[in-house]
Structure 1
Amino acid sequence: MPVPDSSARPRGGRLLTGTAAALIAAGSAVLGFDACQNSGPPRPAPEAARPQAATPSSGPVLAASTPVHVDIPRIGVHSKLLSLGLQHDGTIAVPPLSEAQLASWYDKGPTPGERGPAVIVGHVDTKKGPAVFFKLGKLRPGDIVDVTRKDGKVAAFSVDSVENVSKKHFPTKRVYGEVRFAGIRLITCGGDFNGHNYEGNTIVYGHLIGQRPR
Structure 2
Amino acid sequence: MRRLSDAAIAGVTVVALCSGAWLLRSGTATHAPPQPTAGRAHSGPADTRSAPALPPSPPDRIRIPAIRVNAPLTGLGLTRTGSLDVPPADRPDLAGWYQAGTTPGERGTAIVAGHVDNADGPAVFYSLGALKRGDTIEVDRRDGGVAVFTVDAVEVYPAKDFPDEKVYGAAPRPELRVITCGGGYARGTGYQGNVVVFAHLTGSR
Residue of structure 2 equivalent to 1:25 = 10
Alpha carbons 1:51, 1:141 under 8 Å: kept? no
Distance 1:74 1:80 in 2: 17
Alpha carbons 2:183, 2:195 under 8 Å: kept? yes
**Which of 187, 191, 194 is the equivalent residue of 2:186?**
194
Which has the larger displacement, 43-52 or 172-181? 43-52
Which has the larger displacement, 43-52 or 176-185? 43-52
Q: What SS does structure 2 have at the residue aligned with 1:99?
A: coil
**Which of 45, 67, 75 is the equivalent residue of 1:75?**
67
Residue 17 of structure 2 aligns to which amino acid in structure 1? L
CA 1:116 to 1:169, structure 2 compared with 1: closer, same or farther past 3 Å? same
Alpha carbons 1:52, 1:142 under 8 Å: kept? no
Using the TM superposition, give the Cα deviation of residue 22 of structure 1 relative to its aligned residue in structure 2, in angstroms: 1.7
CA 1:22 to 1:57, structure 2 compared with 1: closer, same or farther past 3 Å? farther
Alpha carbons 1:57, 1:180 under 8 Å: kept? no
Matches within 5 A, 1:198-209: 198-209=191-202
Alpha carbons 1:112, 1:183 under 8 Å: kept? yes
Distance 1:152 1:142 in 2: 25
Q: What SS does structure 2 have at the residue aligned with 1:151?
A: coil
Q: What SS does structure 1 have at the residue aligned with 2:125?
A: coil
Residue 11 of structure 2 aligns to which amino acid in structure 1? A
Residue of structure 2 equivalent to 1:99 = 91
**Which of 46, 53, 70 is the equivalent residue of 1:61?**
53
State the TM-score, normalized to the length of structure 2: 0.90
CA 1:53 to 1:91, structure 2 compared with 1: closer, same or farther past 3 Å? closer
Residue of structure 1 equivalent to 2:26 = none
Distance 1:126 1:68 in 2: 22
Q: What SS does structure 1 have at the residue aligned with 2:70?
A: strand
State the TM-score, normalized to the length of structure 1: 0.86
Residue 25 of structure 1 aligns to which amino acid in structure 2? A
Q: What SS does structure 2 have at the residue aligned with 1:207?
A: strand
Task: Give the gaps of 5 or more residues in structure 2.
Answer: 24-28
Distance 1:201 1:171 in 2: 11
Alpha carbons 1:104, 1:121 under 8 Å: kept? yes
Q: CA RMSD in A?
A: 2.0
- The alignment covers a number of residue pairs equal to 197
Residue of structure 1 equivalent to 2:162 = 170
